[in-house]
Structure 1
Amino acid sequence: MSKGGRPRKVGDAEKRLLRQLVEEMPLATLDEITEAFCTRTGLSVHHMTVRRRLDEMGIRREQATLPPPQGELEQRYGYRPAHRRQQPGQRYPSSLTDEEWRLVADIFESDGDRGTPPRYPRRLLVDACCYVVRSGCSWRMLPKDFPAWQNVYRTFRRWSQQGKFEQMHDRLRIQWREREGRTQMPSAAVLDAQSTRSSPQGGTSGYDAGKKVKGRKRHVLVDTLGLILAVSVTAASVQDRDGAHPVMANGMEKYA
């Protein structure tokens, strides 16, 4: 009899059944134990009642502990040695390999012999541009084994206006799609926008009240593999529906 005078639903026989259920289902949750107990006994018992009776019998649920790792565990995130590998022709990990340069050399090399001969190899200038874009450093912080930063910056501006980097990206995207067994031109695309903080130097900026971010907003159009098709950068205050039109028009012009 309980202290209140009402007989317990879970007596000694029911406790033995509870112990048997725990032995049969060691990985079951408290609700599963309660459901199985009610099914076998025909009683209607709350799961807290079952928990108290299990505590009285000294049965408690404990978190399983994993055995100590044998040896050093492999890091599964961040950069690995494969990301930092350098082949003999590379100055830095961001530099193009010989095979990569062979695939895109015709984009940057000039046709014909007119004009002043180039002062620096085109591949060295491409590697310098890739170094700045990949590392995020300022142009003035280019390593000394690259050409003068003023020369690299002017070259980067000129090639960007000519669309050479975009041509290189389009060529790499086509190769990747062919590698995945897709057609060269995508038939479906996904559009999304992201607001990011920006530095006070240059460019338009605004305030995105929805995300509470002051800066710029990038509207990105990608294919079903996640490869970039078109990008548009606006102030963060521009609504997604308004910023979607330029990037969609650019994508339709190139791939429709």
Structure 2
Amino acid sequence: METSLARDLMSDEEWAFHERFILAARAPNGRKPLNHRLVLDGIFWIARTGSPWRDLPEEFGKWSSVYRQFRRWTLAGLWEQIMDALNESGLVPATLQMIDSTVVRAHHQAAGAKRGTPRQAFGRSRGGFTTKIHLRVNGAGLPMRSDITPGHTSDYLGFDLVMGDNLPEPAVLLADRGYGSDNVRKTMEARNVVPIIPMRKSRKLRVAVDRTLYRRRNLVERCFNKLKNARRVATRYDKTAESFLAFIDITSIRLWVRHLST
């Protein structure tokens, strides 16, 4: 007797949330749509297991069809649209926000995309290929914006990437000392945001930090941990930057939906 590999499928409530975005993203004169719920479950299965597309169980449909639909939705900006809608919904307070970054190892088969490795957010080191994920989260520890750069990139660049979007502004921003530059502080203060960032040990001029509030920065660390439960995020297998970032957004969306349903 064969055992189904299709577990952790969407609930009816989760599918109802995604369906309205998928229907809005459809081309008006395209072919008759596939079973989009099954296709989306197949994409979620790939994200969770980290398996190659060719290993997608047949119960989700033909792997090449699921992959092509994933690329269509990715290039159409579907995942970003869903994330924007969640951030703008006001369902979760965003007065307190946190930013941080983490480096993930890239599988050797991820190399070889067109336009070169730097443009696809690969960094080279003695440890191999790496990609850095920059993340901005709200006070509930849910992702608001993510971006990727080569693994050796400074956090200062990541700050500009995740804080430059038109998202709800925080009243307080928590970050570790990797973001403790004068430029970051001045940028936040100009936006009427209070930066809670420890000073680097080399800085002579010290700025006091509210340690009680700063302890809540662990929410962004916990968010990274939840994102990396998706093996397609914990290790980079994708050749293109947009596909890898799509899996980060997909996993982020599922965290949001499950949080809102509890």
Q: Does 1:224 align with 2:127?
A: no
CA offsets 1:22-71 (integer angstroms, 9 cap, x no match): xxxxxxxxxxxxxxxxxxxxxxxxxxxxxxxxxxxxxxxxxxxxxxxxxx
Moved more, 153-162 or 108-117: 108-117
Larger Rg: 1
1:123 and 2:37 matched? yes
Q: Of 27, 30, 47, which aligns to 1:133?
A: 47
Structure 1 equivalent of residue 103 of structure 2: 195
What are the ranges of 5 or more consecutive residues in structure 2 without an aligned counterpart? 112-119, 170-262
Q: Which residue of 1 aligns with 2:16?
A: 102
Question: Which whole-Å CA distance do the structure 1 matches of 2:28 and 2:140 have between them?
Answer: 42
d(CA) in 1 for partners of 2:55, 2:69: 16
**Contact (CA 8 Å) 2:5, 2:57: kept in 1 or not?**
no
Question: C-alpha distance in 2, partners of 1:247/1:145?
Answer: 38
Identity of aligned residues (%): 25
Partner of 2:56 in structure 1? 142
Question: Does the CA contact (< 8 Å) of 1:125 and 1:147 recur in 2?
Answer: yes
Equivalent pairs, count: 157
Aligned residue runs from structure 1 range 33-182, under 5 A: 92-110=6-24, 114-118=28-32, 120-169=34-83, 178=91, 182=92
CA distance in 2, matches of 1:97, 1:228: 21
Amino acid at match of 2:123: G
Equivalent AA in structure 1 for residue 103 of structure 2: S
CA contact (8 A) 1:218 1:231 kept: yes
Aligned equivalent of 1:233:
148
State the TM-score, normalizing by the size of structure 1: 0.53
SS of residue matched to 1:155:
helix
| Alignment CA distance shift 1:116-1:170 (3 Å) | closer
Could you say if the C-alpha distance between residues 157 and 167 of structure 1 is closer, same or farther in structure 2, counting changes exceeding 3 Å? same
Note the C-alpha offset of 1:118.
Answer: 2.5
Give 1:189's aligned amino acid.
Q
Equivalent-residue separation in structure 1 for 2:26 and 2:60 (angstroms): 25
Classify 1:150/1:112 alpha carbon distance in 2 versus 1 (closer, same or farther; 3 Å): closer
CA distance in 2, matches of 1:117, 1:125: 15
Match of 1:246 among 128, 146, 161: 161
Q: Taking structure 1 as reference, are residues 112 and 221 closer, same or farther at Cα in structure 2, changes over 3 Å only?
A: closer
Question: CA 1:246–1:127 in 2, change beyond 3 Å: closer, same or farther?
Answer: same
Structure 1 position 205, deviation (Å): 2.2
Per-residue deviation, 1:170: 5.3
With over 3 angstroms needed to count, the CA separation of the structure-2 counterparts of 1:113 and 1:132, relative to structure 1, is closer
**TM-fit CA distance, 1:163:** 2.8
Question: Within 1, Cα distance between the matches of 2:43 and 2:17?
Answer: 17
Aligned 8 A contact 1:216 1:233 in 2: yes
**Are 1:255 and 2:172 counterparts?**
no
Tell me the residue number matched to 1:206. Answer: 123
Preserved contact between residue 218 and residue 232 of structure 1 (Cα < 8 Å): yes
Aligned to 2:190: none
> Judging changes above 3 Å, is the alpha-carbon distance between structure 1 residues 132 and 101 closer, same or farther for their aligned structure 2 residues?
same
Question: Where is the helix percentage greater, Structure 1 or Structure 2?
Answer: 2
Q: Does the CA-based 8 Å contact 2:87-2:168 persist in structure 1?
A: no
> Normalization by structure 2: what TM-score?
0.51
The CA distance in 1 between the partners of 2:49 and 2:73, in whole Å, is: 19
